[in-house]
């Protein structure tokens, strides 16, 4: 859990500083720590009664660490969501600007009025991040 906390804090700081490429390099290690954390928490949940009886101090420490983890994770998710929204806004602005450059300034073949500028086609936004 401590390693996961450290890597999330590092990622949050890098994203806040605009170092998105560096933050992206942390993803494989972060995914591994998240997997280990999830597996450990499921094991602790399955054996919570025994852990509470056999190692009450360790169980309390785990609860305390988990409580500290939640706000840190919320901050990290908010920072990542903000960075994603900024990136989406930039890409959408570029698409709109490129689409405006493609605007027809003459009447169409059937004598139709020129159409309003449309966002350019061919620009994709990956929303899975």
Output the pLDDT for position 96.
77
For residue 128, name the pLDDT band (cuts at 50, 70, 90).
low
Between 6-20, 31-45, 63-77, 101-115, the lowest mean confidence (pLDDT) is in 101-115
CA dist., res. 10 & res. 16, Å (int): 10
Q: With the C-alpha atoms ordered 42, 47, 51, 54, is the resulting torsion angle positive or negative?
A: negative
14 within 8 A of 24, measured Cβ to Cβ: no
Per cent of the chain over pLDDT 90 is 33
Q: What is the pLDDT of residues 17-67, one digit of tens each?
A: 989 889 999 999 999 999 999 998 899 889 888 988 899 998 898 888 888
The overall average pLDDT reported for the chain is 83
């Amino acid at each position: 859990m401590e390693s996961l906390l450290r890597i999330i804090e590092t990622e949050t700081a890098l994203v806040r500083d605009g170092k998105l490429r560096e933050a992206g390099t942390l993803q494989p290690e972060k995914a591994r720590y998240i997997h280990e954390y999830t597996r450990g928490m499921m094991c602790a949940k399955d054996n919570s009664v025994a852990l509470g009886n056999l190692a009450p101090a360790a169980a309390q420490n785990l609860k305390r660490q988990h409580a500290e983890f939640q706000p840190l994770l919320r901050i990290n998710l908010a920072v990542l969501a903000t960075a994603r929204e900024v990136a989406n806004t930039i890409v959408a602005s570029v698409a709109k600007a490129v689409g405006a450059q493609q605007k027809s300034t003459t009447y169409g073949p059937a004598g139709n009025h020129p159409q309003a500028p449309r966002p350019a086609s061919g620009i994709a936004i990956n929303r899975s991040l």
